[in-house]
Amino acid sequence: MSLRATARIVAAPGGRLPVLESDGPLALRRTRSAEGPGSSRVTVVGAMSAPLGGDRLAIEAEVLDGARLTVDAAAATVALPGRTPEPAHYDVRLTVGQGAELRWLPEQLISACGSDLRMTTRVELAPTARLVLREEQVLGRHGESTGTLTTRLTVHRGGRPLFDQELSYGPGAPGGWDGGAVLGGHRAVGQLLVVDEQLAHSAAQARLLGPTAVLTPLAGPAVLVTAVAADARELRLILDDVLESQTALCPTAC
């Protein structure tokens, strides 16, 4: 039998969490924030194996005006084959208000052999909202081939499109996904998106960040870092190095 579950978070100023609703395999836990007073942090803890084929899971997070929220995870999410041939669906819906900040930093999504997952992330930002969003996908567990994985990330700022990207890997994906122009044989792929109105004053230029990562300014106060790597550990090192280095994202004073 397929599973339906939606977990919800609402963050308010002063570090308050007026809504923190777990559901099914998506267990939400308030944890200690490292971002200072007035900031809240929520950790997603997997309560059971999911998503499986046919499951429909969702997380909704709203950061109210002036609030600050970090969402991370206790472990990687593993997409697994289920009892039905239907694909699994995992939807993330994020809303960030005026003067608010969301740091969305989940662990890796692992596409196990035989799985089929469609993941969508939709973000609505107020004009003065700040977003740090990390996505990482690992194609197959150790020693196995990948499942089928399709991800789409859509971001609107002030009601206008800022970013819209869809990626597909594995059996059934358009040809060339594992070729030299896309993954080049790598099995981990990720991106780091930073949206901040202060970036409108920077002079960031598209450039390489090492042999397998690139920084791309977007048409708005945002930058995107995309990277591929041999495995999850190498990918995380690349993205963490960028996240911890303000000059990598903004070479001039923001």
The per-residue pLDDT string of the chain (254 residues; one tens digit each, 9 = 90 and over) reads 688 999 999 999 999 999 999 999 999 999 998 877 889 999 999 766 678 889 999 999 999 999 999 999 999 999 999 888 899 999 999 999 999 999 999 999 999 999 999 999 999 999 999 999 999 999 999 889 999 999 999 999 999 999 999 999 999 888 778 887 788 889 999 999 999 998 887 767 888 988 999 999 998 899 999 999 999 999 999 999 988 875 455 544 44
Structure tokens at 102: 């969301």
* Interacting residues of 142 by C-beta distance below 8 A, sequence separation 6+: none
The pLDDT of residue 142: 87
- How many separate domains does the chain show? 1
Cis peptide before 51 (omega within 30 of 0): yes
The pLDDT of residue 47: 62
**What pTM does this model have?**
0.93
Strands (E), 140-187: 148-157, 160-169
Is residue 120 in a domain?
Answer: yes
Buried b (16+ CB within 10 A) or exposed e, 9-44: bbbbbebebeeeebbebbebeeeebeeeeebbbbbb
Structure tokens at 22: 């777990």
CA quadruple 208, 210, 213, 217: dihedral, nearest 10:
-30
Is residue 14 in a domain?
Answer: yes
The parent domain of residue 122 ranges over: 4-245
The pLDDT of residue 246: 55
The pLDDT of residue 182: 81
* Interacting residues of 160 by C-beta distance below 8 A, sequence separation 6+: none
Is residue 51 in a domain?
Answer: yes
Is residue 253 in a domain?
Answer: no
Radius of gyration over every alpha carbon of the chain, rounded to an integer in angstroms: 18
Residue of 183, 163, 250, 253 lying closest to 215 (CA atoms): 250
Structure tokens at 109: 């999504």
